[in-house]
């Protein structure tokens, strides 16, 4: 039996308790691709899964990690468009924090020869999440104003880059000068330090009282409530997640008074519900990458044995851009 190293969640835990184990390597089922993992992206949802606080609760034990990049090691029956040696990235659902991961073919995408694996591993979750949110759900148009919260984090930074590429004027909120500089370099025109400034008044000031046309909210809690005070007439609030830890409640009269739309975005189900949309999103992301309009920012790399430390850094918001694990 073939074995491999992996980070394994044997019980619900805090990130610091995550340890590396030797486990059986996954078999390759029909329609699956076995990937030798060269880099795996870390996401806030990984932290929530470890704690049992995510909307999806995989049975124990499980190997966390939702995005990977590497080299095809083997393909299952029924696959004739990929071969061993191909360079790929994948949305893995689970299992990326390991030396090998088996993934359904529909979630595997070829990457350019020039794309580093660590950049590829930063894309399968945050970039299509932000693309689907801004294009498919919010219909962001050139010339509109986009407000991005937590703009130096994974999905936030992707939203800034994509919003800029779509021709929007981007307003970014983040905590501290270093994170705001990251957002500025990604294309944000207006920078707001939410720790020191009231972002609501700053957004209204920057838009001459009109407010933001689209608000990208991955924070939740009080941030969502305050966002409704600076949204434009017929604006769209995109609910992407609740990194702040609190799921907000929105009073319907606030939706009515400004004719606004509150739309949700849950990227993981797109592969099941709209596979053609997924393919189109990845093709557009690769085009923007080739044009130099998207560049994943990798802040720090960790070894597989340091997966717990990587997620702990993410959980305490000490990171900007993406954190990757390199088995």
Average pLDDT over the chain reads: 94
**Three-state SS at 44:** helix
Six-digit token pair at 127? 């970039």
The Cα 75–Cα 206 span in angstroms is: 52
- Reported as a pLDDT band with limits 50, 70 and 90, residue 274 is very high
Up-side HSE of residue 215: CA atoms within 13 Å toward CB? Answer: 31
In this prediction, residue 9 carries a pLDDT of 96
Average pLDDT over residues 243-263: 91
* Residue 289 to residue 173: CA distance in whole angstroms: 24
pLDDT digits (tens, 9 = 90+) for 50-78: 999 888 899 999 999 999 999 999 999 99
> Looking at the predicted structure, is the pLDDT value of residue 79 above 80?
yes
Coil/strand/helix, residue 152:
coil
CB contact at 8 A, 274 and 281: no
316 has a pLDDT exceeding 90: no
pLDDT at 226 over 90: yes
- Give yes or no for a contact between 82 and 105, defined as CB atoms under 8 angstroms apart: yes
Query: Please, which residues have CB within 8 angstroms of residue 34's CB and are 6 or more apart in sequence?
Result: 26, 28, 72, 73, 74, 75, 76, 100, 101, 102
- Residue 24: pLDDT over 90: yes
Query: What token pair was written down for 252?
Result: 């319907």
Count of CB atoms situated within 10 Å of the CB of 56: 11
On whether the CB atoms of residues 290 and 282 are closer than 8 A, the answer is no
| pLDDT, tens digit, 9 for 90 and up, residues 146-195 | 999 999 988 999 999 999 999 999 999 999 999 999 999 999 999 999 99
pLDDT of residue 133: 98
| Nearest CA among 67, 41, 26 for reference residue 324 | 41
105-141 pLDDT tens trace: 999 999 989 999 999 999 999 999 999 999 999 999 9
Dist. CA 36–CA 50, nearest whole Å: 24
pLDDT for 22 beyond 80: yes
Confidence label for 255 from pLDDT (cuts 50, 70 and 90): very high
Neighbours of 269 (CB within 10 A): 8
Q: Report the half-sphere exposure of 86 (CA within 13 A, side-chain side).
A: 19
pLDDT-derived band at 15, boundaries 50, 70, 90: very high
pLDDT greater than 90 at residue 242:
no
246 phi and psi angles, rounded to 5 deg: -120, 130
Does residue 314 have a pLDDT over 90? no
Q: Which residue segments constitute the domains of the chain, with CATH numbers given?
A: 3-123+296-326 (3.90.180.10), 126-268 (3.40.50.720)
pLDDT over 80 (residue 1): no
Instruction: Give the whole-angstrom CA distance, residue 85 versus residue 88.
Output: 9
């Amino acid at each position: 039996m073939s074995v491999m190293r992996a980070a394994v969640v044997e019980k619900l835990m805090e990130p610091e308790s995550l340890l590396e184990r030797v486990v059986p390597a996954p078999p390759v089922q029909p329609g699956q691709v076995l990937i030798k993992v060269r880099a795996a992206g870390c996401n806030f949802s990984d932290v929530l899964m470890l704690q049992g606080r995510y909307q999806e609760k995989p049975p124990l034990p499980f190997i966390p990690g939702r995005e990977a990049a590497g080299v095809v090691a083997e393909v299952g029956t029924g696959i004739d468009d990929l071969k061993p040696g191909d360079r790929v990235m994948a949305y893995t659902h689970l299992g990326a924090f390991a030396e090998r991961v088996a993934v359904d073919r529909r979630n595997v995408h070829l990457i350019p020869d020039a794309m580093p694996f660590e950049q590829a591993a930063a894309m399968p979750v945050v970039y299509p999440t932000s693309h689907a949110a801004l294009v498919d759900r919010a219909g962001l148009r050139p010339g509109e104003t986009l407000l991005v919260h937590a703009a130096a984090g994974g999905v936030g930074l992707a939203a800034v880059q994509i919003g800029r590429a779509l021709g929007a004027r981007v307003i970014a909120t983040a905590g501290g000068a270093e994170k705001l500089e990251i957002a500025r370099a990604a294309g944000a025109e207006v920078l707001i330090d939410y720790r020191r400034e009231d972002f609501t008044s700053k957004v209204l000031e920057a838009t001459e009282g009109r407010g933001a046309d689209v608000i990208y909210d991955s924070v939740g809690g009080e941030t969502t409530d305050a966002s409704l005070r600076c949204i434009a007439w017929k604006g769209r609030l995109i609910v992407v997640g609740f990194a702040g830890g609190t799921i907000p409640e929105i009073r319907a009269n606030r939706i009515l008074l400004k004719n606004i739309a509150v739309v949700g975005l849950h990227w993981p189900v797109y592969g099941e519900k709209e596979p053609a949309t997924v393919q189109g999103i990845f093709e557009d992301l690769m085009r923007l990458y080739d044009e130099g309009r998207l560049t994943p920012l990798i802040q720090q790399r960790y070894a597989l044995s340091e997966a717990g430390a990587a997620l702990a850094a993410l959980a305490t918001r000490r990171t900007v851009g993406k954190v990757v694990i390199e088995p």
